[in-house]
Amino acid sequence: MEGQNGTPRLLAIEAIRAQRIEAAALLAVGIIHDLNNLLTVIAGSFDLLAEEGGQPDSGYVDDGRRASARARELTGRLMALASGERSWRAVPVNMVVAETAGLVRIVARGARIDLDLAPQEVLAFGDESQIRQVVTNLVLNACQASEPDRGPVVVATGREGRTVYIEVADRGTGIEAEELERLFTPLASARDGGHGIGLAAVHAIVELHGGEIEVSTAPGVGTRFRVRLPTVEE
């Protein structure tokens, strides 16, 4: 009898474990995905430096250095993920968004990104590196989906009750209904040449943080993602 009664609980535990393994795998893949983006920043920064004649005050060297530092941080997160380590703390969301937007502007050359940040810094509780992943993927996807002549990608932050929100809106072609249903499925991408890795990792990270993500879209109008994360209790 004891074995029979314990079966549903064991199945539930195994189901939760499977979910955690899947989320961890998505995070690992997402880190590698972002690492590739950062290496693109490094290469692009030094290409631009060469085009400008190698002037040391051009700013591209600093961009390359910042991207290199982020790449090292991400590889450190891979090791931490493998060991099960978690590093959660108060994360300054405005700062993360501003820094990430600067890097994405280099990756997506010609992209227009406007920031509408909360007047005062807002703090989310979580892993800063993972929250950077969320912002990087959402902003980069928005830039790639946008049509520059229709307006910029707008990234906004703010606070709603006990949550902090990050909103990314583009004026691209929007997402069709059938694509919306599998938007966060790994390896399913609505973009030509895309792998669907970034958004799957975004979804996994937001869930691990106890947050939520909303998507509103209209074909021919654009798409808006709003992520809500727990804030730091005052």
Q: What is the 3-state secondary structure (H, E, C) of 161-216?
A: CCEEEEEEEECCCCCCHHHHHCCCCCCCCCCCCCCCHHHHHHHHHHHHCCCEEEEE
Query: In 165-177, which positions are buried (b, 16+ CB within 10 angstroms) versus exposed (e)?
Result: bbbbbbbbbbbee
Among 41-50, 139-148, 204-213, the range scoring the smallest mean pLDDT is: 41-50
Q: Are 70 and 38 in contact (CB under 8 A)?
A: yes
Distance between alpha carbon 144 and the CA centroid of its chain, in Å? Answer: 14
Q: Does the structure show a pLDDT above 80 at 6?
A: no
From 4-8, 42-46, 96-100, 206-210, the region with the lowest mean pLDDT: 4-8
When mean pLDDT is compared across 129-133, 175-179, 221-225, the lowest value belongs to 175-179
**What is the full DSSP assignment across 1-33?**
-HHHHHHHHHHHHHHHHHHHHHHHHHHHHHHHH
Within 10 angstroms of residue 105's Cβ, the number of other Cβ atoms is: 18
Across 183-202, average pLDDT: 62
| From 113-127, 172-186, 219-233, the region with the lowest mean pLDDT | 172-186
Task: Quote the pLDDT of residue 74.
Answer: 75
Could you tell me if 113 and 155 are in contact, meaning their C-beta atoms sit under 8 angstroms apart? yes
Tell me the three state secondary structure of residue 233: coil
The lowest-confidence range among 46-60, 119-133, 147-161 is 46-60
Tell me: the pLDDT tens digits for 40-95? 777 777 777 767 665 655 566 777 767 777 777 776 676 566 555 567 899 999 99
Distance CA 181, CA 36 (A): 27
Beta bridge partners, 222, equal 218
17-21, 200-204, 207-211, 226-230: the lowest-pLDDT one: 17-21
> Are 26 and 195 a contacting pair, CB within 8 Å?
no
Average pLDDT in the chain = 77
Q: Is the pLDDT of residue 212 over 50?
A: yes
pTM for the whole thing? Answer: 0.69
C-beta separation of 48 from 60 below 8 A = yes
Per mean pLDDT, which range of 60-74, 88-102, 114-128, 191-205 is the poorest? 191-205
Fold designation for 2-230:
Heat Shock Protein 90 (3.30.565)
As a whole number of angstroms, the distance between CA 132 and CA 91 comes to 10
In contact, 80 and 87? CB cutoff 8 Å: yes
Mean pLDDT of all residues in 106-111? 74
Indicate the domain borders of the chain.
Answer: 2-230
CB 223 within 8 A of CB 142: yes
